[in-house]
Chain A
């Protein structure tokens, strides 16, 4: 049993009318132009080109390239289009199987129905529709269940009841069950199976490197300085990602989210973008990304239960936020290869770390250790204030 790597994949890169309804895709990439010299230009695809997932051959190539990198499946968006749920999964379904499957990110904040109270029958019917949308392709399961990430876990009108409804609907439709992930920085609650680290724009533990003082603000207002300094947030990549991964025991059961780079200025034309920066102004530094991914996989092995060990890679084709690992004209296959190498290295290390023959400590003993450590910490702190250590 190895650590799964699931990559977010935007299925809007296809010509079907259903996909076009959501915008995005290649036209959005072509239309996005940086408003500042501090906004890195978006990457342009190389190798796979501007593929159309609706074409079987293109979808096959995309999946084959992802498999070759060691990726175990894609996470695709699940959206309510006013009449039904749409995932774009049908385009990928023929190329999925037990070794490469799909997980789902439910954009529930766009699904107003679930944000307000409704009658039980109505809720059941909507839950059934949602579950049907998750059954179109082979799953990339965790604990043997179909993975559904809830994008805004607290936005559901009655969270516990909504979760119960979804689980019931999954059972009724013969799915092996739902593995529900709460996208958020809080420890898992409300009956979710685990938490998923939020994206870079949603969770910043370190401080931005650009904090203009009053004088700089005056210069910006006078038009003497780029307003991006005041409007967007820039973070050094290494400090940003390391800060997210320290003291993980406080996060509870949480799956790591890994990303090679991030700059979402196209989604924030009026400011408010999040941008990760590297030395020399490079939008991506493959070396650090490689370490991030490799270590996240090792962490997942050591902190998550067997069968639930996964890392989420943002992203396969997030061209509009600079997080894609697909080969680009600017970076060639450096980022793709960094992902491939990191996954291979981590999987090799995991092979050398077969658990010992004995069972882990019983839960009661573990709890006792927590109390003892707490007491020890208090004694040490007291000592630091001048008390006796002995």
Chain B
């Protein structure tokens, strides 16, 4: 729930506002669901929405977005009486409500992004430092929140371990303000160091932001080639650590601690860092990661028309192969590292053989075993090798992984995205003549499994499109983009 009250110093009853995380409508009472946004980003958004609806309000009572609170409940807590800046907490010091002056958002909104939202004492001190005046900390000793769940019905993906990251960054911000007289000019940095596809999305999002709050991006130094090619507007702060392993052997909080240690005080005390790894369940909404990242970076994105996902890219952003349309050349990337992510073997064999029968030249990245079925296997494990390989083909067909996201979002090449266990709308999305996603739309999609099919118990995913579906899509795209007709 995303809730607040608008109060005026002139008196009156005030007005309550309830917003919800959007499922896709983006109606007037809905706010875009962004998995990379920390809770403080939602506090800012609720404040923006309330200020737009209540132009005379000078005090905002904002419920902690991490909690399932509604305006009617806030009214029952008699928060109207709290007109001076206050953080209202439960008996254990978890913040419930923030009472803040309107001018804080109008003049210094970005500093609200530094609030932990999980430690009322810390947030009270931080707000006091930012506002330059006293902020009250009021505890409700009669109410105890208890353990914050790892996953909530409103889509938060947290747990107290992960919430430590917010606390550490809020404490760092407090230290910066306390020790640096020029703190108002300290740059804001995004903490989102991995993985490769996500770096591509963040770069694309940074280019689309109209009023940037952030100017820097903490990113693993192993992604130098991607950052360079993806043309991010954020200056990289290189993190000299390998990216977080995907096998779960290292937890995100553990990695975060190591990252701050490796970055050192030079970075930590000279940048306001905001945690933008996943705070929410990434499958809760259906917005593309680029739009989710744009929201994290400060865009409000109040209408569907404002989303990147619903717009075809400008003509200049779409590239195409310079070779003659025939013979048609198609490059595949169908190996995802684990069986459940691979395009099913038998389907690939049948498809490649069918394409060969139609005179289409097929290349496939890293699959010499498929050469027997008419494909040429090639290596493209570096960005420049991938770019060169793509340029020699009319169409790229790829799984939900880095090559696909790079080819589509950086190169703008005609691309078909294949989705099995992961949500096509979040990572693919946005169709036009140069791009479309395919899956079988099974009721289990997206399951997100990495260890075999949870429904049928098989190693491969049944949600991948059939060879017929994929073959038709390839030839339709070839016809639309290159005027290619099979057998012509």
Contacts and interface: CB of A to CB of B under 8 A. Distances in A.
A246 to B, nearest CB: 6
A379 B445 CA distance: 31
B418 to A, nearest CB: 14
Interface in A272-322: 288, 291-292, 295-296, 298-299, 302
Contact of B444 (A238, A340, A379): A238
Contact of A372 (B285, B304, B309, B354): B354
Contacts of B286: 345, 348-349
Interface stretch (A120-128, A129-137, A222-230, A350-358): A350-358
B358 interface: yes
B468 interface: yes
Interface in B17-43: 22-26
B83 to A, nearest CB: 35
Given A242-B442, A292-B443, A380-B349, A356 B477 contact: yes
Contact of A288 (B287, B431, B443): B443
A353 B475 contact: no
A366 interface: yes
Q: Tell me the interface secondary structure of chain A in the complex.
A: helix
A25 B442 CA distance: 34
A121 B312 CA distance: 58
B420 interface: no
A241 B472 contact: no
B471 A242 contact: no
A390 to B, nearest CB: 6
Given A291-B445, A347-B24, A368-B487, A358 B431 contact: no
B479 interface: yes
Contacts of B444: 238, 242, 288, 291
Given A238-B455, A291-B445, A373-B467, A353 B440 contact: no
Nearest to B285: A345
Contacts of A389: 353, 372-373
A342 B486 CA distance: 38
B357 interface: yes
B441 A369 contact: no
A373 B479 contact: no
A361 interface: yes
B433 A241 contact: no
A300 to B, nearest CB: 9
A172 interface: no
Given A249-B466, A356-B433, A389-B372, A380 B346 contact: yes
Contacts of A246: 440, 442, 462
Given A365-B475, A370-B468, A299 B357 contact: no
Contacts of B440: 245-246, 248, 299
B349 A348 contact: no
8 contacts: A295-B445, A345-B23, A357-B480, A365-B475, A373-B354, A376-B354, A389-B372, A390-B374
Interface of A: 238-239, 241-242, 245-249, 288, 291-292, 295-296, 298-299, 302, 340-342, 344-349, 351-361, 365-366, 368-370, 372-373, 375-377, 379-380, 383, 389-390
